[in-house]
Structure 1
């Protein structure tokens, strides 16, 4: 059988209310994509770039193996103690080809199947999403470490509200009439991220490279807590040329010789008194207490 590369979603907004009925929404699970080939009793897991990752997730194989031949699209997901997806935990598994018993025990994973691409020798790629989804649910794959997460037709706004309430990454909206387009990023699938905002203080900066050479590459930011200014990450995106010039001018009189952060912060860096307050948009927190995918929104006057 030829390999099937995953279909990809574009970033965008929720469908407007008058068009919601044409779309289904699924929760975004903050995992790593994996296509599962279940053929002749054997199981293979391939990454979105067709890299072999079967050996990296051995605990999934028995629950994926079944009597029927099929190809599934899905995600490998790790959960935290509350049952929420935790990409930080998953990172400790992602590049380990043969995980130890200890790692398997401390960071177990699940497989979330959300599409069926081939079934009993027949391609389902040209079927509309609605039909493929019905087939997937008829397969009764929910067992052990395999899940078929729910899909919600006509309810994108409500699903996004639930994602926010539970701290999930966001939703993926899929046209009910969408065929599966291997390896293509299509507007028939739209990912909408649940972004968060945080007020931060600027404690330093690192110089840029390439196009940003000679100016700010990233800001080192923190939040006040009982122990002082706690470092929460560096922000290198979201700036306009005007913002960079303005920040450079504002930080020039605030230079200090040592880090203002109470704990560890990346060095070497240019340190400043933490008097400039700003806002960042971010996707969540790592296990080390650092912002995931932060983007600069601007200074707070």
Structure 2
């Protein structure tokens, strides 16, 4: 039978907080103890492990290589403990943790959340909008499935993505037909191949030469640049639908299915809060009438 060694939990907690914040003072504030108490805990842990976890001057310590590895492992472990407590704690069913991409949250989900809260006022929705996989467990994760990918177990399809070229009305009035491609091309580091995807959807034999490319870190910044008239962007319909309908953006080539699908994934589909949220998401997706017909043509040279 395996016996676990006694763990210095207080010292581990103090070091984890100090490693996460990078400062002993901040760790002391989080734990409501003195700076000296955190320092003693860290020293005790270093003596127990036989290695330094911090180095450098006492007023500005920095993690050693061993300290960085140990701190990352402890943070993950404490996150798992907190998740387990939250899952089994009484009243957990009122908290609904949802993860999705930041632009999707800003432009599709958040504008609709008031409707979900009105329909289900007992739930407190908490969003994780990191564009990477969320570190902690969530109740529902809205994900994007690449073309040709089968829907994984535990996933519920929501809608198919449709891509289109969008730009501000002022630019569209000044640049129609082939002149459209003389405008600056707006791109996003979170989806750097979207222009190549678009030209494949057009069956373009040759990619038209365009003006200078302007790159942004996130798609929502790219769309803001398009709204202010900085250039032309390729964007999914569901993220620009409100702007197109309001006339803040125009889509002269319409929208075409990209092959990507949005879906919601969960490990706990039987929980009432998850069922209510997924059902509401499906209703929201079904209520969208989709993009309007193409209003004009500005096909690149060489396209069919």
Larger radius of gyration: 2
* Normalised-by-shorter TM-score class: under 0.3
Q: Could you tell me the TM-score, scaled by structure 1's length?
A: 0.26
Please give the TM-score of this superposition, normalised by the length of structure 2. Answer: 0.26
Q: Which has the higher strand share?
A: 1
> More helix per residue: 1 or 2?
2
